[in-house]
Each structure stands twice: as structure tokens, then as C-alpha cells.
Amino acid sequence: MRRQGILGPDAFRPPARTPEQLGWGIWAIGAAMIYLVMPFGAQIALTISGDLGALEAGSMSLRAMAVATIGSSVAGVAAAAALLGVLSRRRSGLGFRLHATDLSWGLAITIAALPIVLLITNLASIIAARVTGETPDPLAHETLRLMVDAPGSTWWWVMVAGVVIAAPIAEELLYRGFLQSSLVALTGSRSLAIVITSVIFASVHIGTADWRALPGLFALSIALGIAFERKGRIGIPITMHALFNLFNVVISM
């Protein structure tokens, strides 16, 4: 199989999956539904736990953040599972079947991609520091700040479960599974779909992650998108995303 670069025109021939068989509109509607359901799930979880006031006041504790993360992720996964139960009926090649080797492939690709992601993140921080004169924040995400303040507590462990397990599953189903599939079907280009998805993925972290971390998140998303299209299994980018989040938790602590 000829390949012209990582994102070249022949990089994904033959394609490992064929989301085009459903049409871009169906995937887009699914992505929109998951995106809208996730904050609703967070609100329900916060209401049940009695922490909704923290969200409304704009001051989130570790407990409230953990509850919101779990609630949002569970809602997103449930919505995606329901949609896939309908969409994947009598269809194959969509990329959502899990395999035992997803974990090993995810680990191997993460080991290969992580140095590049870290290099881009560090270069962005260095350039930003020279331009603005500001010292980069070593904790580039609000969630990490909350976790560092209460290590080893019960809610710290709940937060770890949310960050390392629940959130990667929900986010990969949304961004790679549905959004990227929609863009592949719409544009006819897997390379362009990966890039657009990565721009959106990095953009949604504005406000929660330090802006200097956005280039690294973009690079991470590129790696996740390539892995999904090259291997055709959603379990691989889920594993990669989980390992990346785990790495950040370990480093921050």
C-alpha cells in the first residue's frame, strides 16, 4: 500500500473504515446530540449530589468537578451507545467494534506520539514566554489544579476515574467517533477531517486549559485521529487519550 506522508493523499488507502455509508448529516446530528447531552448529564449529577450551586456560582470544588465529569461522561457514553445501537445495525466498517489488541496498539502509538506532543507543547510555551514575558503555568488545566490541592482524598480518586476512564471514552466517541466521521463523509478527505476535528477539539478547551497548551492538544488530536483512521477501531484512540490524561495526572502530582 502506497503512503505519501502521515496525512498524504494515499495515507488512508484502502480505508480501515467507511463512515460514508451513513452520510455526513446523520453523524453530525449524532455529534450534536452527544455534545448537548453531556452538560445536561453534568447538571443532573450535580443536582443529585447537591453541588449544583457550585456550578451556578462559578466556583467548582474538587467534589463538584468530579461529580460533573462523571455525570457528563456517563451521559455522553449513554447517548453514543444508544445512537450506535441504531446506526450500526446491519452495518460493519464504522469503526466502533472493540478488540483485545486495542490496548496494546493504543500503548504503542502513545509511546510514539507523546514525545512529539510534549515537544510541541514545550515549544509553544517557550515562544509564548518570549513574546509575552509571562511564566508558563505548570498546571495547564483547571482540573489538575483542583487535584493537586487534595491528593489521595476520596474525591481525588473519583476525579482520577473520571479523567482517565470516563472522559476519554465520552470525548473520543464524540470527537473521533461522530464528529470526525461526519467530516470524513462530508469532505471525502480523511486528512482534512482529522485537521478540522483537531481544531475544534483544541478550541473547546479554551477557558479550561492554559492557552499555551492548545497547540499540544491539537497535536494530540491529530495523533488520535490518525490512529482511528489508520486502524479503524475507536478503542485505540480511547486508550491513547486515557494514557495521555494519566500521564498528565502523574506528572502534575
What are the pLDDT digits (tens) for 98-138? 999 999 999 999 999 999 999 998 898 888 878 877 666 65
- Whether the CB-CB separation of 160 and 150 falls below 8 Å is answered with no
> In terms of Cα–Cα distance, which of 171, 179, 212, 218 is closest to 195?
218
The string of pLDDT tens digits covering residues 170-184 is: 999 999 999 999 999
Gyration radius of the chain over CA positions: 18
Res. 1: pLDDT tops 50: no
Using an 8 Å Cβ cutoff, are 5 and 194 in contact? no
- Per-residue pLDDT band at 237 (split at 50, 70, 90): very high
State the cell numbers at 188. Answer: 471525502
Query: Among 187, 225, 173, which Cα is nearest to 20's?
Result: 187
Q: Give dist(CA 100, CA 94) in Å, integer.
A: 18
Question: pTM here?
Answer: 0.91
